[in-house]
């Protein structure tokens, strides 16, 4: 339900950011949700809060030259979009994937503003990355690339300024190489990155946090339907950090993940995915998901990643990438009587897909809320770094669980307060926006 005001803001966003379709998509959803907030609080319109929020505070693009194992010079492009610092230092991951361009980093940075606001912790929104493809690269190549990336990035970040972390293609290995280079360049040992190794400032539970948090969030969605995890069939797309630890927690809670994927295809194992095999293939060997069927005769491999949404399930957790559930996939989930869809990935459902799911009463948990456990635990890592101490696994996990419950409560309360009861998309956008908008109002025109 677009209005004149939303149309006006969207017109400006499209004109000023041509070709950045993912960014337009992310902005449109928030703008449509917060229309009711702006109607009720006209000072937000007078002070142009929405128009200011859609403009990044700072965007950095830079050259990343490095030398591959054959002695050839390679050039990639690096990005850091420091989107909004109204409630804390810029915070958000780095994505290394060949599809990365400014529009992807901006959509991710924009989403991060509201997600981070929902976590209840004091962090602003940012995102970065590169079009570097880590696939098939040696460890030494990845190290040289990360060092070159940090040779520019270091001057823009800092524990109280901007604190990057991982995302697609950036895990513990890459954070290690980047942290080493930052430390060498600045001669400081600070909490400038999160997702660090446990021996050098990392937090317990950060590795598991996005996946675990997603499952804690879905627990509340199920409760609202009078249901539990027991005996449920679950499909999780992707087989990276988010997918693996969501699957681990799903299994702990007595449900069964029966399908996972990567960008080539998907596996179905009705006996329940053996997570040890997936972890070995993806985390240790950096192999392909198809290798799973070599060891598990009950399983099947199907080429192409989109088909995973035709696998009948009670709960779907898209945890790979943006726009992986389109209208057709959503219709297929509805036909198969899926009861809950919750987003582990960022913006994995198209607007058309969300409409199909919501109209058919499938409970829908949006990324900003459902996958916020990762960045929330990053904020807990920052907190531990500042105090120069570390909490136990149980302590961090308990805080993560409390945060996911608080996020769920904020989303449901905001949806109810603004007349869209039960709509978690609107609830997440409204609650996140309100926190940031109030901070921006208090801080003047800066
Ligand atoms: P990883 O790099 O660990 O894993 C990504 C997984 O998604 C891989 O299995 C990858 O397959 C698959 N994938 C990537 N691109 C595509 C594509 N175009 N089509 C199909 N599959 C694809 O990343 P994460 O698990 O960290 O991130 C997954 C999602 O979760 C992203 O959307 C990310 O933004 C989001 N997220 C991550 C958080 C974190 O803490 N890590 C926090 C919150 C959200 P392949 O190996 O073939 O590339
Ligand atoms: O999308 C995300 O929230 C992340 N990739 C995690 C960001 C972070 O700073 O931990």
Domain ranges of the chain: 1-54, 56-189, 209-370
Q: What is the pLDDT of residue 368?
A: 98
Q: What is the pLDDT of residue 6?
A: 86
Q: What is the pLDDT of residue 2?
A: 53
| Mutation choice for ligand 2 from 161, 320, 378, 379, CB with most ligand atoms inside 8 A | 378
Q: What is the pLDDT of residue 24?
A: 98
- Each as own residue / partner, the long-range contacts of residues 5-14 (CB below 8 Å, 24 or more positions apart, any chain) are 5/35, 5/38, 5/45, 6/31, 6/32, 6/35, 9/50, 9/51, 9/54, 12/51, 12/54, 13/54
Quick check: CB of 343 below 6 Å from ligand 1?
Answer: no
> What is the rounded distance in angstroms from the CA atom of residue 256 to the CA atom of residue 362?
19
Q: Distance from the CA of 201 to the center of ligand 2, in angstroms?
A: 17
Q: Could you tell me if 343 and 236 are in contact, meaning their C-beta atoms sit under 8 angstroms apart?
A: no
Nearest ligand by distance to the CA of 208: 1
Domains 56-189 and 209-370 share a fold: yes
Quick check: CB of 169 below 6 Å from ligand 1?
Answer: yes
Which atom of ligand 2 is found nearest the CA of 195? Answer: 10
Q: What angle, 0 to 180 degrees and rounded to 10, lies between the N-to-C axes of helices 424-442 and 393-417?
A: 90
Quick check: CB of 121 below 6 Å from ligand 2?
Answer: no
Q: What is the pLDDT of residue 4?
A: 87
Q: Could you tell me if 393 and 206 are in contact, meaning their C-beta atoms sit under 8 angstroms apart?
A: no
pLDDT in single tens digits along all 446 residues of the chain: 458 888 999 999 999 999 999 999 999 999 999 999 999 999 999 999 999 999 999 999 999 999 999 999 999 999 999 999 999 999 999 999 999 999 999 999 999 999 999 999 999 999 999 999 999 999 999 999 999 999 999 999 999 999 999 999 999 999 999 999 999 999 999 999 999 999 999 999 999 999 999 999 999 999 999 999 999 999 999 999 999 999 999 999 999 999 999 999 999 999 999 999 999 999 999 999 999 999 999 999 999 999 999 999 999 999 999 999 999 999 999 999 999 999 999 999 999 999 999 999 999 999 999 999 999 999 999 999 999 999 999 999 999 999 999 999 999 999 999 999 999 999 999 999 999 999 999 999 99
Q: What is the pLDDT of residue 256?
A: 98
Q: What is the pLDDT of residue 101?
A: 98
Sheet containing 256-261: give its strands across: 300-303, 265-268, 256-261, 233-236, 315-317, 340-342, 363-365
Domain 209-370, CATH class in plain words: alpha beta
Please, which residues bridge with residue 165 across strands? 93
Neighbours of 329 (CB within 10 A): 25
CATH number assigned to the domain with residue range 56-189, chosen from the 4 options 3.40.640.10, 2.60.320.10, 2.60.40.420, 3.40.50.10860: 3.40.50.10860
Q: What is the pLDDT of residue 187?
A: 98
The one catalytic residue in 106, 115, 127, 137 is 127
Plot region of 246 (φ>0 → left; ψ -120 to 50 → alpha; else → beta): alpha
List the residue whose alpha carbon is closest to atom 4 of ligand 2.
Answer: 93
| Mutation choice for ligand 1 from 92, 109, 241, 372, CB with most ligand atoms inside 8 A | 241
> What is the rounded distance in angstroms from the CA atom of residue 111 to the CA atom of residue 108?
5
Q: What angle, 0 to 180 degrees and rounded to 10, lies between the N-to-C axes of helices 102-118 and 424-442?
A: 90
């Amino acid at each position: 339900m677009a209005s004149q005001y939303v149309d006006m803001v969207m017109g400006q966003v499209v004109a000023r950011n041509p070709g950045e379709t993912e960014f337009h998509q992310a902005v449109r959803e928030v703008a449509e949700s917060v229309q009711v907030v702006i109607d009720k609080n006209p000072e937000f319109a007078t002070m142009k809060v929405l128009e200011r929020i859609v403009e990044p505070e700072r965007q950095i693009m830079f050259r990343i030259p490095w030398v591959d194992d054959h002695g050839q010079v390679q050039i990639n492009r690096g990005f850091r979009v420091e989107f909004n610092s109204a409630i804390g230092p810029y915070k958000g991951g780095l994505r290394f994937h060949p599809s990365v361009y400014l529009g992807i980093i901006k959509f991710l940075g924009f989403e991060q503003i509201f997600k981070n606001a929902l976590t209840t912790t004091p962090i602003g929104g940012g995102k970065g990355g590169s079009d570097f493809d880590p696939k098939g690269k040696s460890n030494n190549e990845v190290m040289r690339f990360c060092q070159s990336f940090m040779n520019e990035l270091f001057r823009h970040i800092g524990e109280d300024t901007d604190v990057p972390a991982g995302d697609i293609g950036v895990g513990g290995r890459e954070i290690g190489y980047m942290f080493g280079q930052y430390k060498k360049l600045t001669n400081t040992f600070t909490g400038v990155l999160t997702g660090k190794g446990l021996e050098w400032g990392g937090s317990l539970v950060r590795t598991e946090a996005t996946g675990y948090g997603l499952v804690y969030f879905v627990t509340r969605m199920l409760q609202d339907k009078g249901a539990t995890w027991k005996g449920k069939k679950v499909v999780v797309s992707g087989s990276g950090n988010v997918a693996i630890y969501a699957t681990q927690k799903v299994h702990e809670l007595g449900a069964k993940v029966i399908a996972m994927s990567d960008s080539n295809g998907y596996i179905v194992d009705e006996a329940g995915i053996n997570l040890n095999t997936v972890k070995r293939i993806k985390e240790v060997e950096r192999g392909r998901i198809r290798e799973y069927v070599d060891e598990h005769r009950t399983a099947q491999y199907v080429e192409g990643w989109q088909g995973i949404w035709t696998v009948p399930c009670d709960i779907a957790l898209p945890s790979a990438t943006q726009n992986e559930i389109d209208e057709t996939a959503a219709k297929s989930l509805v036909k198969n009587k899926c009861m809950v869809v919750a987003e582990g990935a960022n913006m994995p459902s198209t607007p058309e897909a969300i409409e199909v799911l919501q109209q058919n009463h499938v409970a829908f948990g949006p990324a900003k809320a459902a996958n916020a456990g990762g960045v929330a635990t990053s904020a807990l890592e920052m907190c531990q770094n500042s105090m120069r101490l570390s909490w136990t696994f149980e302590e961090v996990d308990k805080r993560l669980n409390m945060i996911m419950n608080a996020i769920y409560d904020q989303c449901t309360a905001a949806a109810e307060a603004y007349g869209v009861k039960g709509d978690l998309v609107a609830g997440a956008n409204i609650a996140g926006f309100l926190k940031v908008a109030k901070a921006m109002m208090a801080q003047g025109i800066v």
